[in-house]
């Protein structure tokens, strides 16, 4: 078992190093373009630059939670119940919660600069906060007592229910009257009213954040594998110790 642990110890591979290096390059471009090259907005002025972090982090959080649901469904449906699906679901949710926190923090700062308020209980902000708390609950469920199979089953059910909140969050600005502006890129008309360089920088941010997300999830799910192996190894060691005690008696 210790050989297995040693052979899987590095969580990085050639692929993750390439993804990581590309993410650094893309994010460097986003920083330069977002802070220096893109123009001020005609109404919002300099505060529009928060968009290059706020919007991609929100999209990646949604993506992460959808991946969590898909991996959870795969675990439930598959006959082998491969724990790889469960670890991927957990890793994706953890990274998604991080991006959701970034969304809430940057959104709050942006709101203070434009609306004049850090926070209001309007439909978009409330549903987003609810989504964030739901996935904190999901992560708590994963830490409940029980076997890895119990952990996987409980959290898979929660993940498949929690993902239903995402359409509610996204369409909250359409369904209800919200202080938050409507979608610019994913609007129902398909008519994107945004300066070209602003739009390109926004998409660069989405690509950069996606690469960061992939890099983090790959490393995190491998770390989770090592934890599971270590726990299993600890159980086997305890059994060996008890057998040794039995032999001595």
Partner 1 sequence: MDLTPRPSEPAKKPRKWLPIILLSLVGVGGVVIVTQFLRSAIDYYCNVDEIGIRSGCEEATRLRVQGTVEENSLQKIGSKTSFVMTFNNKSINVVYSGDPGGVFQECISVVAHGRMIDGTFESNRIEVKHSNEYAEKNADRIESSGSAACSQAQG
Residue 101, C-beta contacts closer than 8 angstroms, at least 6 positions apart: 132
Q: Among 9, 12, 240, 243, which residue interacts with partner 1 (rule: CB under 8 A)?
A: 243
Q: Does 178 bind partner 1 (CB under 8 A)?
A: yes
Q: Among 74, 108, 114, 210, which residue interacts with partner 1 (rule: CB under 8 A)?
A: 114
CB 126 to partner 1: min, Å: 8
- Pick between residue 144 and residue 176 the one whose CB is nearest to partner 1: 176
Q: Does 149 bind partner 1 (CB under 8 A)?
A: no
Phi-psi region of 146 (alpha: psi -120 to 50; beta: other; left: phi over 0): left
Q: Does 245 bind partner 1 (CB under 8 A)?
A: yes
Q: Does 161 bind partner 1 (CB under 8 A)?
A: yes
Q: Are the CB atoms for 5 and 229 separated by under 8 Å?
A: yes
Q: Are the CB atoms for 22 and 217 separated by under 8 Å?
A: no
Cα–Cα dist 154/159, whole Å: 9
Q: Is 41 helix (H, G, I), strand (E, B) or coil?
A: strand
Q: Does 122 bind partner 1 (CB under 8 A)?
A: yes
Cα–Cα dist 225/9, whole Å: 10
Residues 38-77 that bind partner 1 (CB under 8 A): 39-45, 47-48, 51, 76
Q: Does 157 bind partner 1 (CB under 8 A)?
A: yes
Q: Is 220 helix (H, G, I), strand (E, B) or coil?
A: helix
Q: Does 193 bind partner 1 (CB under 8 A)?
A: yes
Residue 58, C-beta contacts closer than 8 angstroms, at least 6 positions apart: 99, 100, 103, 107, 128
| Residues engaged in binding partner 1 (CB under 8 A) | 39-45, 47-48, 51, 76, 79, 113-117, 120, 122-123, 157, 160-161, 164, 167-168, 175-179, 181-184, 187, 193-195, 198, 242-243, 245-246, 249
């Amino acid at each position: 078992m210790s050989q297995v642990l040693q052979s899987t110890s590095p969580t990085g591979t050639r692929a993750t190093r390439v993804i990581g290096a590309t993410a650094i390059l893309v994010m460097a471009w986003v920083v330069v373009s977002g802070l220096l090259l893109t123009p001020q907005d005609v109404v919002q002025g300099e505060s529009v630059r928060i968009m290059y972090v706020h919007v991609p982090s929100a999209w990646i959080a949604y993506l992460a939670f959808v991946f969590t649901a898909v991996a959870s469904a795969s675990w439930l449906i598959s006959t082998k119940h491969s724990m790889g699906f469960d670890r991927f679901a957990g890793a994706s949710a953890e990274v998604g919660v991080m991006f959701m926190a970034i969304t809430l923090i940057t959104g709050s700062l942006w709101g203070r600069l434009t609306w004049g308020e850090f926070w209001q209980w309007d439909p978009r902000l409330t549903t987003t906060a609810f989504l964030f708390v739901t996935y904190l609950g999901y992560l708590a469920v994963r830490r409940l007592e029980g076997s890895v199979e119990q952990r996987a089953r409980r959290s898979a059910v929660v993940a498949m229910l929690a993902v239903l909140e995402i359409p509610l969050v996204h369409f909250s600005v359409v369904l209800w009257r919200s202080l938050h502006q409507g979608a610019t890129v994913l609007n129902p008309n398909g008519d994107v009213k945004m300066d070209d360089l602003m739009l390109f920088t926004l998409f660069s941010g989405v690509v950069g954040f996606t690469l960061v997300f992939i890099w983090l999830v790959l490393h995190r799910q491998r770390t989770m594998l090592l934890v599971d192996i270590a726990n299993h190894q600890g159980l086997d060691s305890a059994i060996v110790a008890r057998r040794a005690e039995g032999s001595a008696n």
